[in-house]
Amino acid sequence: MHPTPVEIRQLTRAIAPELATRAPACVAARCVVPESMAAMVEAGLFRTPQPARVGGYELPLGVLTDAVTAVSEACPSSGWVLMVMGGHHFCLASWPEQAQEDVFGDGRDGLVAGALSWQGKARKVNGGYRVDGRWQFCSGVDRADWVMLGCADAEAGGPGVHVVAPREEIIVDDTWHVLGLQGTGSKDVVARDLFVPSHRAIDSRAMITGASPHVRNHRTKRFQVAVGSMLATVGASAILGSARFALQKFIERTRERRVIITGARKAEHAPTRIRLAEASGEIQCAELLVRDSLEVIDRVCESGIDPTEPGYRARVKWQTAYAVELCRRAVSRLYAGSGAHAVYDSSPLQLAFRNVNVGAQHATLDFETAGEIYGKMRLTEDAIKRD
């Protein structure tokens, strides 16, 4: 019997303290340490968005986002990897049934890392594809069993196929020396004339839009939502968790902090209180935007709307991008008000500042692009209504 959403939340809360204890070890190792990965696997967190037909729980997307937020609040590295792999497990619901069996069959956890952007190339051959290229930002690859890769068409260029291959068949290049989110292990991966059978490939457009015929073979309609909408929502939830962490650490630090020259308590300083109130409001607004995006996605799944319809996708992408921007502003404001001690590597505020700003760089959460598309859609809608 599969756990309920309430039970998943309880399991997440139960492992959060141990994930928090190991968070510094993940940063030092520059990847999620095995013990933290095992805790998330045993709690079933990676199975929440996985199709039920291959051992997953097929729960609403909000269950995964809640888990990602809670885990990110304890250990941003673990939360980010849960977000990325959970998203890939969701994506696999669009693939041929044999691919799902290869990855998840016989009760396997089948942890899937990868890079969805078309950084490599695939050439059609007899029985499958030959894949070559280098992909950046392969979060969690050190703990993965499989790797999902986006490939441009080697002959025509542009979007081609996405493939999934065993982790041992690709090369990992340790390039992950970065400003923040060091513990995610988001290294480069390389494929050289890699053969991938046809059943472990899918047309990229069909997967990205949720229009694959294979999504109809599941017990729910949850997998018909566009991948970009899913990833943006789950990605924003990871940054929301880091922002919550920063807010709590700022409160704890400010309660005990005193002005060196006068000895006055910083907690009694009016500008500090205003800074805290504004940051708290921004983080709360970010959470509400993520919640509303989840409601939009749920309505799409329930109504059977055309998955290629762009309206809801533009709204979800903008709301989640704006939520991330609000978190970034809030954490930057808290960091700026944390005094000189916040510059040390040992400062939780410095860590949160780096993690949130690096996470906000994710292409799925690009603020300007999402805003431009949403603004264009609204202006077009209004013009149509006037006509």
Task: Please say if the pLDDT value at position 25 is more than 60.
Answer: yes
Residue pair 201/209 in contact (Cβ under 8 Å)? The answer is no
Rounded mean pLDDT of the chain? 94
Residue 47: which of 58, 34, 60 has the closest Cα? 58
Task: Please say if the pLDDT value at position 259 is more than 80.
Answer: no
Q: Distance between CA 182 and CA 59 in Å, rounded?
A: 30
* 3-state secondary structure (DSSP) of residue 259: coil
pTM, entire model: 0.95
Residue pair 69/238 in contact (Cβ under 8 Å)? The answer is yes
Model pLDDT, residue 387: 44
Q: Distance between CA 99 and CA 198 in Å, rounded?
A: 9
Whole-angstrom CA distances from 374 to 81, 360, 368, 381 are 28, 18, 10, 11
For 166-234, give the DSSP string: EGGGSEEE-----SS-GGG--EEEEEEEEEEEGGGEEEHHHHHHT--GGGGGSSSSGGGS-HHHHHHHH
Task: Give the rounded percent of residues in the chain with a pLDDT score beyond 70.
Answer: 96
Residue pair 265/273 in contact (Cβ under 8 Å)? The answer is no
CA 104-105-109 angle, 5° bins: 35
Give the tens place of pLDDT for each residue, 276-297: 999 999 999 999 999 999 999 9
34 bridge partner residues: none
* 3-state secondary structure (DSSP) of residue 265: strand
* 3-state secondary structure (DSSP) of residue 244: helix
Model pLDDT, residue 267: 85
Task: Give the rounded percent of residues in the chain with a pLDDT score beyond 90.
Answer: 86
- What's the number of CA atoms in the CB half-sphere (13 Å) around residue 114? 27
Q: Distance between CA 370 and CA 321 in Å, rounded?
A: 7
Task: Specify the DSSP class assigned to residue 92.
Answer: G
Give the tens place of pLDDT for each residue, 71-117: 999 999 999 999 999 999 999 999 999 999 999 999 999 999 999 99
Model pLDDT, residue 380: 87
Residue pair 229/316 in contact (Cβ under 8 Å)? The answer is yes
At 302, is the pLDDT very low, low, confident or very high (cuts 50, 70, 90)?
A: confident
CA 211 to chain centre: 21
Q: Distance between CA 124 and CA 387 in Å, rounded?
A: 47
Model pLDDT, residue 27: 97
Give the tens place of pLDDT for each residue, 33-86: 999 999 999 999 999 999 999 999 999 999 999 999 999 999 999 999 999 999
Q: Distance between CA 129 and CA 148 in Å, rounded?
A: 14
Q: At 187, phi and psi to the nearest 5?
A: -85, 170
CA 156 to chain centre: 30
Tokens of 355: 């993690």
Give the tens place of pLDDT for each residue, 117-135: 999 999 999 999 999 999 9
Q: Which residue has the tokens 């990110």?
A: 72
Give the tens place of pLDDT for each residue, 305-326: 665 567 889 999 999 999 999 9
What domains can be seen in the chain, in order of their start residue? 5-106 (1.10.540.10), 111-203 (2.40.110.10), 225-386 (1.20.140.10)
* Cα torsion angle, 146, 147, 152, 154, sign: negative
Model pLDDT, residue 384: 46
At 156, is the pLDDT very low, low, confident or very high (cuts 50, 70, 90)?
A: confident
Give the tens place of pLDDT for each residue, 196-221: 999 999 999 999 998 899 999 999 99
CA 198-201-203 angle, 5° bins: 115
For 303-366, give the DSSP string: HT--TT-HHHHHHHHHHHHHHHHHHHHHHHHHHHTS-GGGGSTT-HHHHHHHHHHHHTT-GGG-
